[in-house]
């Protein structure tokens, strides 16, 4: 198992000094926090019916992506991410700080491939009507695809756009692989800072859940939540996830680097661990979650769990079993509130953990099944759980500084 050791001798403490959120609940920390307190959930049950999605609360793009030309060069998933990344840099107080931005290391968790639906359906319709010349597809693609669409589809162009729009000139790595890509992005960034390879990193992802092409992909596996919204824990007999639009970015920084510039931490990121359960037999995934739980540093503070459980089965039932054996930890599901933002769900979980710690309270439960219970007092240790709907498991420990 690969993991990021929490506190090996000589390893530096890693702080979360910036958070950027653009979600279905709104943009920025205050709007998201307020919505969580009010138990607000933003779902669209009609636009993609019978599928349910959590649409992005519209943002004023110009405030983070001032050039219209840049906005046009991106598709929605990249705009959401570039926007949220800007918020994170603002939050850390390093927006426009050329000295820091020229060396910041980026680790981005990304999907990609946003389709031009009209081109696809145009080709299929023409073929259904008899177009069958050998070069038909080539000719249509040559004439119908926008030349820059490719750049809006490439996974690593989220990082590329962030670098261009916000002037980042350090290093840039893009991890793919659905949910666990977000875990691994945090894991590698943490390992690099903890070992002294890096001082400061921008980590996160973004996801546009309002995409029919993505719904098709997940419909292949019958993973989409349909007809009626219910909290993640209440979907056992009506399984599925509701795709969510969200961008979540974090600025991670060594304690020394943060202190030298007078930056205040939201929390510290103590450990990130990940694994790949075989998921061949019932219990495989739960056993892996237990192994990861045991690898996290000791939890003797006031603890809680924030999970990105998807609502898809059998993964969510496996995770419910794991959570039952840790029932003394109050649980919150980001999937219920924000929908499932795939690569972004884990960075979102870390962000909400850090926010809860810094605001001295876990946000209230939002659940009809009793899985989520009230928490009194301020959490000092929050475990973030990210188990993929199909593959990949991860956890992080976020602690009060």
Partner 1 sequence: MTAPRDKLGRPVVVVTGMGIMTSLGAGKADNWAKLVAGESGIRTITRFPIDGLKTTMAGTVDFVSVDPFSSTALSERMAELVTQEALAQAGIGAKADFPGPLFLAVAPVEVEWPQRRELGRAVGQQDITYDDLLRISGGGRYSAYHHRFMFGSVAAYLAETFGTKGSPISLSTACASGATSIQLGVEAIRRGETDAALCVATDGTVNPEALVRFSLLSALSTQNDPPQAASRPFSKNRDGFVMAEGAGALVLESYEAATARGAKILGVIAGCGELTDSFHRTRSSPDGKPIIGCMNKTLADAGMTPDQIDHINAHGTSTPENDKMEFNTTSAVFGELAQKIPVTSNKSMVGHTISAAGAVEAIFSLLTLEHQRIPPTINYETPDPTILFNVVGNKARDARVTAVMSNSFGFGGQNASLILTREPA
Residue 348 in tokens: 């979102």
SS3 388: coil
SS3 134: coil
| Residue closer to partner 1 (CB basis): 118 or 376 | 118
Contacting partner 1 within 382-401 (CB under 8 A)? 388, 390-394
| Residues 385/308, Cβ–Cβ less than 8 Å | yes
- Other CB atoms closer than 10 Å to residue 61's CB: what's the count? 18
Q: How far is the CB of 287 from partner 1 (least distance, A)?
A: 15
23-35 burial: b if 16+ Cβ within 10 Å, else e: bbbbbbbeebbeb
Question: How far apart, in Å, are the Cα atoms of 168 and each of 40, 98, 188, 281?
Answer: 35, 8, 19, 45
| Residue closer to partner 1 (CB basis): 36 or 165 | 165
Question: How far apart, in Å, are the Cα atoms of 115 and each of 123, 281, 366, 400?
Answer: 13, 35, 34, 42
Q: How far is the CB of 275 from partner 1 (least distance, A)?
A: 6
Beta bridge partners of 251: 18, 202
Binding mask of the shown chain, residues 177 to 196, with x at each position contacting partner 1 by CB under 8 A: xx-xx-xx--xx--xx--x-
Choosing from 95, 212, 238, 299, the residue that interacts with partner 1 (CB under 8 A) is: 212
Binding mask of the shown chain, residues 287 to 306, with x at each position contacting partner 1 by CB under 8 A: --------------------
Residue 31 in tokens: 């709007």
Examine residue 67 and tell whether it contacts partner 1 (CB under 8 A): no
d(CA 319, CA 279): 12
Number of residues lying near partner 1 (CB under 8 A): 88
Contacting partner 1 within 14-53 (CB under 8 A)? 51
Choosing from 39, 66, 98, 150, the residue that interacts with partner 1 (CB under 8 A) is: 150
| Residue closer to partner 1 (CB basis): 153 or 366 | 153
Q: How far is the CB of 112 from partner 1 (least distance, A)?
A: 5
Residue 385 in tokens: 């759980």
End-to-end CA, the chain: 27
Choosing from 76, 151, 373, 378, the residue that interacts with partner 1 (CB under 8 A) is: 151
Q: How far is the CB of 148 from partner 1 (least distance, A)?
A: 8
Contacting partner 1 within 104-133 (CB under 8 A)? 106, 110-113, 117, 120-121, 124-125, 127-129, 133
Options 80-88, 89-97, 138-146, 241-249: segment touching partner 1 (CB under 8 A): 138-146
| Residue closer to partner 1 (CB basis): 174 or 307 | 174
Choosing from 60, 220, 237, 262, the residue that interacts with partner 1 (CB under 8 A) is: 220
SS3 276: coil
DSSP alpha helix (H) spans, 42-97: 68-72, 76-92
Examine residue 236 and tell whether it contacts partner 1 (CB under 8 A): no
């Amino acid at each position: 198992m690969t993991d990021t050791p929490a506190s090996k001798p000589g390893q530096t403490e890693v702080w979360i000094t910036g958070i950027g959120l653009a979600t279905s609940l709104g943009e920025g920390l205050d709007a998201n926090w307020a919505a969580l307190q009010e138990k607000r959930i933003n779902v669209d049950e009609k636009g993609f019916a019978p599928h349910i999605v959590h649409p992005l609360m519209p943002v004023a793009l110009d405030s983070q992506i001032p050039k219209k030309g840049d906005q046009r060069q991106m598709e929605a998933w990249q705009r959401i991410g570039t926007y949220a990344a800007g918020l994170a840099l603002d939050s850390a107080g390093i927006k426009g700080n050329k000295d820091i931005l020229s060396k910041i290391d980026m680790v981005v968790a990304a999907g990609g491939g946003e389709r031009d639906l009209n081109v696809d359906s145009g080709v299929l319709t023409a073929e259904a009507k008899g177009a069958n010349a050998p070069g038909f597809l080539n000719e249509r693609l040559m004439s119908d695809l926008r030349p820059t669409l490719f750049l809006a589809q490439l996974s690593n162009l989220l990082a590329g756009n962030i670098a261009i729009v916000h002037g980042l000139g350090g290093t840039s790595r893009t991890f793919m692989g659905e949910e666990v890509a977000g875990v691994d992005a945090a894991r590698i960034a943490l390992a690099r800072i903890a070992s002294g390879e890096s001082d400061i990193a921008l980590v996160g992802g973004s996801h546009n859940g309002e995409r029919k092409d993505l719904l098709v992909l997940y419909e292949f596996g019958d993973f989409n939540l349909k007809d009626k919204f219910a909290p993640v824990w209440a979907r056992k007999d009506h399984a599925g996830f509701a795709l969510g639009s969200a961008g979540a970015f974090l600025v991670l920084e060594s304690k020394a680097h943060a202190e030298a510039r007078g930056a205040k931490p939201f929390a510290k990121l103590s450990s990130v661990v990940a694994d790949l359960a075989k998921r061949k037999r019932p219990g495989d995934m739960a056993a892996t979650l237990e192994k990861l739980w045991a690898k996290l540093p000791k939890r003797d503070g006031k603890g809680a769990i924030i999970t990105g459980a998807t609502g898809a089965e059998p993964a969510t039932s496996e995770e419910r079993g794991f959570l039952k054996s840790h029932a003394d930890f109050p649980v919150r599901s980001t999937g219920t509130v924000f929908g499932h933002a795939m690569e972004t769900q884990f960075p979102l979980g870390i962000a909400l953990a850090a926010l809860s710690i810094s605001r001295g309270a876990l946000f209230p439960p939002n659940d009809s099944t009793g899985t989520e219970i009230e928490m009194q007092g301020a959490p000092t240790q929050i475990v973030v759980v990210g188990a993929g709907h199909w593959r990949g498991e991860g956890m992080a420990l976020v602690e009060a500084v």
